[in-house]
Amino acid sequence: MTIIAYDGHTLATDSGQFAGNLIAGRVNKIHHLFDGSVFSAAGAAADIMAVVNWLGGTAEKPKIEDSFCGIQIMKDGKLLEWDGTLVAYECALPFVAGSGQEVALTAMHLGLDAETAVRATCELCTHCVEPIQTWSK
Mean pLDDT by 10 residues, the chain (137 residues): 94 87 83 96 92 94 91 96 95 93 96 97 92 95
pLDDT on residue 18: 76
pLDDT on residue 42: 92
Q: What is the DSSP letter of 9?
A: S
pLDDT on residue 22: 72
CATH code of residue 37: 3.60.20.10
Residue 81 included in any domain: yes
pLDDT on residue 132: 96
Q: What domain range is 91 assigned to?
A: 3-131
Question: Treating both helix axes as pointing N-terminal to C-terminal, what angle do 101-109 and 114-124 enclose, rounded to 10 degrees?
Answer: 140
Q: What is the DSSP letter of 92?
A: P
Residue 136 included in any domain: no
Element (H, E) at 130: none
Residue type, 80: L
d(CA 107, CA 43) in angstroms, rounded, equals 22
The structural domain count of the chain equals 1
- Helices marked H in the chain: 45-55, 101-109, 114-124
Residue 71 included in any domain: yes
Q: Which residues pair with 25 in a beta bridge?
A: 17
pLDDT on residue 26: 84
Q: Where are the beta strands (DSSP E) in the chain?
A: 3-6, 10-13, 16-19, 22-26, 31-32, 38-42, 69-73, 79-83, 88-90, 95-98, 133-136
